[in-house]
């Protein structure tokens, strides 16, 4: 594996969000516009300052082929080079960073959106699985997560209670927008939805948009490490008990940042974990210890939306660095069945 440092510094200049809510009555362009305008205001820039745009959206969720066409104007992509990433917002940010690091552009807007209230999200994920040998079974991403959790819980009788404790802790730290069971006992009594996962162990999904302005010009937060990885799509071709893709993505990000992955002094970690067992896999793949602050605001358990999750973690990590809560922070994004795709960003303070 080889990975060199970014050829040009990349900074996080602006952050804007349409915060996750269970059901946003607005149209997707209206949600997205709120995030973009907030990011521009935060960056103190105008649309004429933006050279290029990278968007993240998924056609199936939007019920629209080429889902970026509905937001072309609001993401400020008219007469600009736009790239659409159909996986995860953090992957979009890393592609935008590559555009800046290459010298192609000086300022790139990154936007991710998803509105799960539009349709049956888990039902839609069936379409993202193999049409011949998985779709006929009716399996969806939730079933994949259940399979993964079941493998991890095998021979570990304390797993369920441990996961309930993690979920309860994250929910307590969240903002309470989503009304969901929050104590350990409530979570353990919540309905089983994909054994051994219970309803209370799942990060609540809703509608959200997030926008970030990346620039070559100096700002308070610098992006120093980037890495991503795609594992086999077929569940049967992976050891589901491990996120090997994350391990590789993390190693690449550390190499780009010029850091030793075993001795990374990271103060703040913002992982994209939709279930508590994923948090355990995250810790194992990155060897992030207990010293780092992890999801202080509840992470995805405060409410999230697929596609947006990773970019919102990036925004949270950048806010932590900007506020002086961390000198170095890690943001993580994951997508696909049982975390097939993985992305890591390392942020640090200062120019």
Partner 1 sequence: MSAPVHVALEMDQSWRYAAPAAMARFCAGLKERRIEALRCGGCGRRYLPPRPVCGNCHLPLADWVPVADEGRLEAWTVVHVPILDPRTGRMREAPYGMGLVRLDGADTTLNHFLAQSDPARLAIGQRVRAVWREQLAGAIDDIRHFEVLA
Q: Give the residues lining the site for partner 1 (CB under 8 A).
A: 24-30, 33, 47, 62-63, 72-74, 76, 78-79, 117-120, 123-124, 126-127, 131-132, 135-136
Give the nearer residue to partner 1 in terms of CB position, either 127 or 185.
127
Give the nearer residue to partner 1 in terms of CB position, either 28 or 187.
28
Give the nearer residue to partner 1 in terms of CB position, either 8 or 44.
44
CB of 123 to partner 1, least distance (A): 6
Q: Is the peptide bond before 31 cis (omega within 30 degrees of 0)?
A: no
Q: What is the DSSP letter of 68?
A: G
Closest CA to 128 of 288, 336, 312, 271: 336
CB of 294 to partner 1, least distance (A): 35
Its sign, for the CA torsion 142, 144, 147, 152, is negative
Give the nearer residue to partner 1 in terms of CB position, either 123 or 289.
123
SS3 of 93-139: the string is HHHHHHHHHCCCCCEEEEEEEEEHHHCCHHHHHHHHCCCCCCHHHCC
CB of 337 to partner 1, least distance (A): 17
d(CA 255, CA 253): 5
CB of 226 to partner 1, least distance (A): 28
Three-state SS at 275: coil
Token pair 């935060």 is found at 42
Give the nearer residue to partner 1 in terms of CB position, either 25 or 236.
25
Closest CA to 145 of 277, 245, 270: 277
d(CA 191, CA 172): 20
CB of 162 to partner 1, least distance (A): 36
CB of 114 to partner 1, least distance (A): 13
Give the nearer residue to partner 1 in terms of CB position, either 207 or 231.
207
């Amino acid at each position: 594996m080889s990975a060199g440092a970014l050829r040009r510094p990349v900074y996080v200049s602006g952050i804007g969000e349409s915060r996750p809510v269970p059901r946003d009555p607005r149209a997707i362009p209206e949600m997205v516009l709120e995030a973009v305008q907030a990011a521009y205001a935060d960056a103190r820039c105008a649309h004429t300052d933006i050279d290029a745009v990278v968007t993240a959206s998924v056609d199936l969720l939007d019920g629209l082929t080429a889902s970026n066409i509905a937001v072309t104007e609001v993401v400020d992509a008219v007469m600009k080079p736009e790239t659409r990433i159909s996986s995860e917002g953090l992957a979009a940010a890393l592609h935008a960073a590559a555009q800046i690091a290459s010298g192609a552009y000086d300022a790139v807007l990154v936007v991710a959106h998803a509105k799960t209230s539009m349709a049956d999200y888990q039902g839609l994920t069936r379409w993202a699985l193999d049409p011949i040998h998985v779709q006929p079974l009716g399996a969806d991403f939730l079933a994949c997560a259940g399979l993964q959790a079941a493998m991890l819980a095998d021979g570990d009788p304390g797993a369920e209670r441990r996961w309930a404790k993690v979920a309860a802790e994250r929910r307590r730290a969240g903002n309470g927008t989503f009304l969901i069971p929050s104590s350990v006992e409530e979570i353990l009594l919540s309905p089983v939805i994909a054994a051994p996962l219970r309803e209370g162990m799942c990060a609540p999904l809703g509608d959200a948009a997030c926008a970030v302005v990346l620039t070559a010009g100096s700002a308070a937060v610098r992006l120093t490490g980037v890495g991503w990885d795609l594992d086999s799509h077929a569940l049967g071709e992976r050891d589901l008990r491990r996120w090997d893709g994350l391990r590789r993505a993390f190693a690449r990000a550390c190499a780009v940042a010029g850091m030793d992955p075993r001795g990374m002094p990271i103060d703040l970690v913002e992982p994209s974990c939709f279930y508590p067992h994923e948090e355990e896999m995250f810790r194992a793949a990155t060897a992030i210890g207990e010293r780092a602050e992890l999801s202080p605001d509840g992470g995805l358990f405060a409410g999230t939306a697929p596609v947006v999750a990773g970019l919102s973690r990036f925004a949270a990590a950048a806010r932590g660095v900007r506020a002086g809560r961390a000198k170095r922070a890690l943001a993580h994004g994951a997508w696909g069945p049982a975390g097939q795709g993985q992305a890591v960003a390392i942020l640090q303070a200062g120019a």
